[in-house]
Amino acid sequence: MIDLFHFSFLYLYLLTSQKHLRMNGRIMNGEPMNYSELQKKYGGGFVAFLNGEVVAHGKTFSDVLDEAKKKGILEDENLIFDFIEEEGAVCVYRVPQL
């Protein structure tokens, strides 16, 4: 379970990040990403993508952040954090009007 501090940080990051917007057409290893495969492998957890590849993953955002720090990739401008919904999850998104 993610604590309120990390959830707030992640939420603000995702709302303000242009990098997150580029994830809509997710590409992984030169191929379009199969989100259901990501759900099977990482569902209910957080991942970090770098140049279309999963480079860190964990159940909490803190775990992924720590792993990215250890790998020395935290400052890379192409690093993208995301939460992968569990298999079978129903997600409803509200898109703000511009």
* pLDDT tens sequence across 4-29: 555 655 655 554 444 444 444 555 55
Give 31 or 48, the one with higher predicted confidence: 48
The share of the chain scoring above pLDDT 90, in percent, equals 30
Helix, strand or coil, per DSSP, at residue 60 = coil
Q: Comparing 29-33, 51-55, 62-66, 91-95, which segment has the lowest mean pLDDT?
A: 29-33
- Per the structure block, which two tokens stand in for 96? 């703000």
- Per the structure block, which two tokens stand in for 50? 């770098």
pLDDT of residue 4: 58
User: Buried b / exposed e across 50-89, counting CB within 10 Å, b at 16+?
Assistant: eeeebbbbbeebeebbebbeeeeeeeeeebbbbbbbeeee
> How far is it, in rounded angstroms, from Cα 32 to Cα 90?
21
Is the pTM here over 0.75, yes or no?
no
